[in-house]
Structure 1
Amino acid sequence: MADVERQDTVTIDQYISGMRVRTLALSVAPVWIGTAAGVGIVRERAAASSRCTVLTGGASCVPDTARIAAVAVLCLLVAMLLQIAANFVNDYSDGIRGTDAHRAAGAIAARLDDDLDTPADRMEVPPARLVVSGVPPRHVLAAAVVNAALACTCGLAVVVITGYWWLIVVGALCLAAGWYYVGGRRPYGYMGFGEVAVFVFFGLVATLGTTYAIAGALDAAAWVGAAAIGVVAVAVLCVNNLRDIDTDRAAGKRTWAVRMGRTWGTVCTIALIAIVSLGAAVAWAATSVQGERLAHLSVLTAFLGILGAVCALLTGWFAALDIAKRNYMRAMRSLGLLALATALTFNGFALMI
C-alpha cells in the first residue's frame, strides 16, 4: 500500500469518526439500566422505612430527584467519555503497531469503489482508522487523553456528591482497562481477553456502579440487567472481530473470532444475541402472567416493557440475520438498538416486581 499523506491536525469529521458514535449506545444502555435499578431501590427503601434519614453514607433514603438526576447524568458522561477515549486509544495503539494497515487499505479501496452507489452501500464500509489515514499519532493520543480527563472530572463529581471515595479505584481500573486493551507491551485484547473485559466493564461495572452511586446498594434486578447488557456488549465486540478476523489473524491478535474461526464465531455471536432476546421474551411472558400481583404495575410501565421486548426481539433477529450474511456494519447498528431495547425492557418490566 502506498504511503498515506500525513496531516497536521485532526478534522472534525475525523474526530467524529474516531469517536465511533454508532457504538455509544453501549454506554447509554448500562447507565439507563443502573439508574432505573437505583431508583427502584431508593423507592423500596423509602416505602419500607419511615425513620430513614436523608443521607446515609452518601446515598439518599428518600427520593431526591435533583441528586439522582445529577448522579445519573454524570455517570452517563463518565461512561460515554471513557468509551470515546478507549476508541481513540485503540486507534492509536493499533495504528502504531501496524494492525490497521490492511484495514485502512480495504476501507480506502471500498470508498473508491464505483459500485457503492447508494448511501446504504457506503454505510457498510468500516470507519476509517485515523493513524493509518494520515492523522499524526500524537493527535489521536491527545484526543484520548482529553476525553479521559473529562471522564475523570465527571467521575470526581460523582465521588463528591455520593461520598463513595473508593469509586476512584474503580475509575482507575477502567482507565487501565481502556489503555491495556490494545496498548502496552502485552495488550490483553491480543490474547483473547477483550470479550471478558467488555462484559465486566460495559456490563457489570457501568451498570452496578451507577446503581450503587444512586442508591448505595445493589439488588438482584441490577445484577440481571448488568449481565444482560454485558452480553450485548460482548456480541458487539464479537461482530467487530468477525469483520476484522483476517487482519487480526495476520497481526497476531487472538480474539475469540480468530480462535474459534468464522463459522463457530458466528454461531457463538448469534447465540449471545438469542440469550438476550429470549430474556426479553421471558420477561414479557412472566409479567403478563403475574401482572395482577405486581405492586408497581401501571399502563405506562407495561407499555414500555412490551415495547422494549418487541424491539429487542426484532433488532436481535435482524442482527442475527446480518451476521449470518456477513453484513457486519449493519449488524452493529442493530446491536446498538438492541442495547437500548434491552434497557427499555428492563425499565418497563424488572422494576414492577
Structure 2
Amino acid sequence: MHLSQLISGARPRTLALGVAPVWIGAAGAWALMRGREHTLPQCAWVAGGAHCASSSARMTTLMLLCLGVAVFLQIAANFANDYSDGIRGTDAHRAAAAVANRVEYVTRATGPGDVEREETLDYEELHAPTRLVASGVPPRAVLTAAAVNAALACACGLAAVVITGYWWLLAVGALCVLAGWFYVGGAHPYGYRGWGEIAAFVFFGPVATLGTTVTMAGAVDWPTVCASVVIGLVALAVLSVNNLRDIRSDAQAGKRTWAVRLGAHATTVCIIVVIALVMLAVLAAGVYVGVHGSTLAHLTAGWGFCAVLGMVCVLLTGYFTCFEVARGEYMRAMWSLSLLALWLALAFTGFAMAL
C-alpha cells in the first residue's frame, strides 16, 4: 500500500470530527478545574510513592492522549469500514452507481441547468474518497492498517488510564473499538440496519467529549454536556450526508441506512433540520452570554472574541451547508460540516471559559 493510499484511506478531511469533541471536552475540563487544582484526581502512581506532574502539565498530557485515542480510533474505523465494505462488495456497487449517475446526467444534459449539475458531479467524483479494497489494494493490507491504528489508540487510552487510575475507562475504550469494527464488520453489522447515525452521534458526541472531560477533570458540568449533544448532532449530520451521497449504491448492496429507509428528499430535510438545531444552540449560547455578561466573573475580551468569532462562523458555515445539501453537493457539505465542528469547538471554548 502506497503512502498516498494510506492518507486517502485515513479520510483526513473528516478527522475534524475526532478533534472537535476532544477540544470541547478539554475546554470544559479547563473551565471546570479553573481555580480548583487541588481537586484534581490523584495520580495512579501516588500509591507507589512517585511524585505526580504539575496539574497543568498533567492535564495537557491527558488532553493529548485523549486526542490520540479519538483520532487513531477514527482512522482505524475508516480502514475497517473500507475493508469490510470492500470484501462484501458494497464498494463495487458504489463504483457501478457512479458510472450509472454519469451516464444518466450526460443523457439528460439538455440545458444550462443540467450542465451546471454535471460540474457538480465532477467535483463529487474528484473529491470522493478512494475505496482501497475496491481499487485493488490487498484486503489484508487495509486490515493491517486498521489494526495498527487501533493499537495506537489503545496505547494512548491505556496511558491515560494509568495516569488517572480510572480503570473503568478500559471498558469504554473496548466498547469504542467494538463499535468501530461492527459498524460494517462482522456477520451482522449495525450500519447495514440503520444504526450508524445513532452510533456516530453517541461516540463522536457524548462519549468522546465527556470522556475527555472526565479523564482530565474527574467530573462534568452542564455546559459540556450540552455541547457534547450539539457536536454529536454535527457527527450525525456528516454520516447522514455521506449516506445520502451513497443512497443508490447502498440500496443495491442491501445497506439499509436512514437515507435508504427515508428516501433522498426526507433525508435532505432531516439533515437541514439537524444543522439548524446546531445553529440555534450556538445562537442561544451567545444570547445567554450577552444577557448575563455583566455577571460572568471570567468574561474577558479574549474569551468573548473566541465566542463571537466561533458563533458567527458556525452560523455562516451552517447556512451555506444547508444549501450545499439541498443542491446535492455532498462532498462540499461534508467538508463544510467538518469546518463547522471546529468552529463549534472554538465557540464553546469562549463560552465555557467565560462562565
2:272 maps to which residue?
A: 270
C-alpha distance in structure 2 between counterparts of 1:106 and 1:196, whole Å: 26
1:169 maps to which residue?
A: 171
SS at match of 1:134: coil
| 1:107–1:263 Cα change, 3 Å | closer
Alpha-carbon deviation of 1:124? 2.3
2:97–2:248 contact (8 Å) kept in structure 1:
no
2:194–2:258 contact (8 Å) kept in structure 1:
yes
For 1:297, which of 296, 299, 315 is the aligned residue?
Answer: 299
For 1:317, which of 305, 316, 319 is the aligned residue?
Answer: 319
Code of the residue aligned with 2:34 in structure 1: it is R
SS at match of 2:156: helix
Q: Where has structure 1 moved over 6 Å in runs of 4 or more?
A: 108-111, 113-116
| 1:108–1:129 Cα change, 3 Å | farther
5+ unaligned residues in a row in structure 1: which ranges?
1-9, 47-51
2:20–2:341 contact (8 Å) kept in structure 1:
yes
1:103 equivalenced with 2:94 (yes/no): yes
1:84-116 deviation per Cα after TM superposition (whole angstroms, max 9, x unaligned): 0000000000010111102234568999x9999
| 1:243–1:54 Cα change, 3 Å | closer
1:175-213 deviation per Cα after TM superposition (whole angstroms, max 9, x unaligned): 000000000010000111111111111101100100000
1:59–1:215 contact (8 Å) kept in structure 2:
no
1:73 maps to which residue?
A: 64
Code of the residue aligned with 2:225 in structure 1: it is W
Alpha-carbon deviation of 1:218? 1.1
2:129 maps to which residue?
A: 127
C-alpha distance in structure 1 between counterparts of 2:332 and 2:33, whole Å: 39
C-alpha distance in structure 2 between counterparts of 1:198 and 1:59, whole Å: 35
Code of the residue aligned with 2:156 in structure 1: it is C
Q: How does 1:34-113 map to 2 (within 5 A)?
A: 34-43=25-34, 45-46=36-37, 52=38, 55-56=41-42, 64-105=55-96
2:152 maps to which residue?
A: 150
2:21 maps to which residue?
A: 30
1:107–1:128 contact (8 Å) kept in structure 2:
no
SS at match of 1:132: coil
SS at match of 2:310: helix
RMSD (Å), alpha carbons: 2.6
1:306 equivalenced with 2:299 (yes/no): no
Alpha-carbon deviation of 1:58? 5.6
Code of the residue aligned with 2:321 in structure 1: it is A
Alpha-carbon deviation of 1:285? 1.7
2:120–2:329 contact (8 Å) kept in structure 1:
no
2:41–2:218 contact (8 Å) kept in structure 1:
no
Code of the residue aligned with 2:56 in structure 1: it is T
Alignment TM-score, normalising by the size of structure 1: 0.90
Alpha-carbon deviation of 1:121? 7.3
Alpha-carbon deviation of 1:224? 0.7
SS at match of 1:335: helix
1:104–1:128 contact (8 Å) kept in structure 2:
no
C-alpha distance in structure 1 between counterparts of 2:78 and 2:287, whole Å: 38
Code of the residue aligned with 2:75 in structure 1: it is I
For 2:139, which of 137, 156, 179 is the aligned residue?
Answer: 137
C-alpha distance in structure 2 between counterparts of 1:210 and 1:255, whole Å: 29
C-alpha distance in structure 2 between counterparts of 1:272 and 1:102, whole Å: 29
2:40–2:217 contact (8 Å) kept in structure 1:
no
Code of the residue aligned with 2:289 in structure 1: it is T
1:252-304 deviation per Cα after TM superposition (whole angstroms, max 9, x unaligned): 11111111110010000010000001111111122112111111100000000
1:301-327 deviation per Cα after TM superposition (whole angstroms, max 9, x unaligned): 000000000010011111110000000
Larger helix proportion of the pair: 2
C-alpha distance in structure 2 between counterparts of 1:53 and 1:235, whole Å: 37
| 1:54–1:45 Cα change, 3 Å | closer
2:184–2:190 contact (8 Å) kept in structure 1:
yes
| 1:55–1:197 Cα change, 3 Å | closer
C-alpha distance in structure 1 between counterparts of 2:136 and 2:149, whole Å: 21
C-alpha distance in structure 2 between counterparts of 1:70 and 1:290, whole Å: 34
1:320-344 deviation per Cα after TM superposition (whole angstroms, max 9, x unaligned): 1000000000000100011001111
For 1:202, which of 204, 217, 235 is the aligned residue?
Answer: 204
C-alpha distance in structure 2 between counterparts of 1:328 and 1:334, whole Å: 10
| 1:215–1:124 Cα change, 3 Å | same
5+ unaligned residues in a row in structure 2: which ranges?
47-52, 107-114
Code of the residue aligned with 1:33 in structure 2: it is I
C-alpha distance in structure 2 between counterparts of 1:43 and 1:21, whole Å: 33
C-alpha distance in structure 1 between counterparts of 2:59 and 2:45, whole Å: 9
1:286 maps to which residue?
A: 288
SS at match of 1:130: coil
Alpha-carbon deviation of 1:251? 1.0
2:222 maps to which residue?
A: 220
Code of the residue aligned with 1:223 in structure 2: it is V
C-alpha distance in structure 2 between counterparts of 1:15 and 1:260, whole Å: 34
